[in-house]
Amino acid sequence: MRYNSRSICSTILERAKVDERSGIREYARMLVRITDLAQAFGTARDLQTIYSALREFTVASVPSIGIFISLYDPQREVRTAAYGWGDGLDAAPADADHEGRPQQPRGQNRSGHHHG
């Protein structure tokens, strides 16, 4: 069976055009998501609103089953759990006490001993 090189090139070019148009549409959708995220940041009155906006942006942008946000204090070398989401529900971070403080500094196990 012989293939016509012109028809093969034509098919490749058509596929490239479809891929390009698809890429442009995806890029436009991403710009809308970024605009929505920026607007949420600009109007947010609390961190929970910002965390929720980050979750919405992330889930819309990439396959995600969960999100965890922590804040790092470089002076104390401690990460504080700030936000968690999984299975479609917001969740209190497991490594924070009820006031949002971390239960242990980085480099220590639950007994308070440093691990090396």
Residue of 1 and 38 predicted with greater confidence: 38
Q: pLDDT tens-digit profile of 79-98?
A: 888 888 888 888 766 544 44
Residue with tokens 């442009």: 24
Taking the C-alpha atoms of residue 54 and residue 62, their distance in angstroms, rounded to an integer, is 12
Question: pLDDT averaged over the chain?
Answer: 75
Taking the C-alpha atoms of residue 53 and residue 34, their distance in angstroms, rounded to an integer, is 10
pLDDT at 104: 47
Taking the C-alpha atoms of residue 24 and residue 26, their distance in angstroms, rounded to an integer, is 5
pLDDT at 53: 93
What are the extents of the domains in the chain? 1-43, 47-116
Residue among 77, 82, 81 nearest 114 (CA): 77
Q: pLDDT tens-digit profile of 62-83?
A: 888 888 888 899 999 998 888 8
Residue 105 CA from chain centroid, whole number: 25
